Structures are given as C-alpha cells and as structure tokens.
Chains A and B, each alone.
Chain A
C-alpha cells in the first residue's frame, strides 16, 4: 500500500448507528487531518493531529470523535449522526507543520446517513 488509504470507501448508516472510519498513511508523515467535503461547499477542515496530539478542532460536533493512536493511523468514530452529515470524508497527511501546504489526501469515505 502506498500513500494514504481510507476504509471503508462507502458507508451507509442509520442515525442511531455507531461506525468508524479508518485512515492510514504510508508516507512517514507526522501530521494527519480529517476534512468534510459536501456537495457545493468548500472542503472543511475538521481536526488536525501532530505527533498523535490533537492540535485543532474546528468546532466539530461531539457526534464526531477522532482518535489517533500513532502517527500513521487516524480514526473518526461516528455516533448519532444526522442526515446533513452525509458527505465525503477525506483524510490527509503532511510532513508536520512546515509541510502543511502539501497535504496528501486519501480517496475518501462516501458517507450516507439515513
């Protein structure tokens, strides 16, 4: 595997379900990001992790709970989501703060909340 991988690629869940999105980067980076991409809206930064520590939470509702066990893996735990949370969730990584302008993105997880 190379680059940034994300699983699953597609996810359909009900509003009462709990699910998790997984991201893994094989680039040796130490910063990881979650973004939300909705139709007709700009990419929105959700969370930033540097060396496993969360350094940015962009006012994301608590029904989204990130976890970063090490610099290569990032999870997004989902519970009690709303239909408006349906979107493409993208993970990215970079070589720390200095490399933040060159972020490498995964293919995304297409999430549908029923």
Chain B
C-alpha cells in the first residue's frame, strides 16, 4: 500500500467552478501537510501548508486536513485557466523527508 494516495486525474472543469483535490494517507505519524503546484516544465512550488487537523484559507484556496480519516483536501474557488497545473499533496512527520502523492493534473477550461 502506498503511503500517500492521490488520484492522478486528469481533471477538467469549466472556468469559475469549484475544484476539489484530495489525498489519503496511511501513516498516522504524519503531522505536516502541504500542497504544491507544478506548472508544465517547472518545478513544484508550495501553495499551502497546514499543521495537524483543521482548515486554512488563502485567497481562493482552502486546505483541509482530517487526521481521523487520514484525508486531506484542497479546494479552489472561482477557478481560473491560470490554475491549470499538476497539484501534488505532500506530508511528513516533522523531518526533512516529504512523502508526495502522485499528483493530479488539473485543466480549467475558459
């Protein structure tokens, strides 16, 4: 069983839609949860970072962590074509070894 599961998609939605991206994980020791965004031909960049359970909002983006279910989500409101990218969830136990999901390829259609 993979430590982190993420549906690779691809996911295609119309502009303005609410997008929901999700990951599940098996290791209950994970405490830090990240979402990275990777544009084509670029390296990943950190989008959101949460510690333990709860919600965090940053503009159009909301990250949710439910440790009891071992489930994390990223919501994008009012999606824009510029949000088209691959979204990677990542998590760790507090060390330097991030464990990544496979990434979900998202396309926002104008």
Residues of A at the B interface (CB closer than 8 Å) are 4, 31, 33, 40-43, 45, 48, 50, 55-56, 58, 90, 92, 94, 97, 100-108
Contacts and interface: CB of A to CB of B under 8 A. Distances in A.
A49 to B, nearest CB: 10
A58 B97 contact: yes
Nearest to B3: A42
B96 A94 contact: yes
Nearest to B42: A107
Interface pairs A-B: 6 shortest CB-CB: A105-B43, A100-B96, A43-B100, A42-B100, A42-B102, A105-B44
Interface of B: 2, 4, 6, 8, 32, 34, 41-46, 49, 88, 90, 92, 95-103
Contacts of A50: 96
Contacts of A43: 44, 88, 90, 98, 100
Contact of A45 (B34, B46, B97, B101): B97
B95 A100 contact: yes
A103 B45 CA distance: 8
A41 B43 contact: no
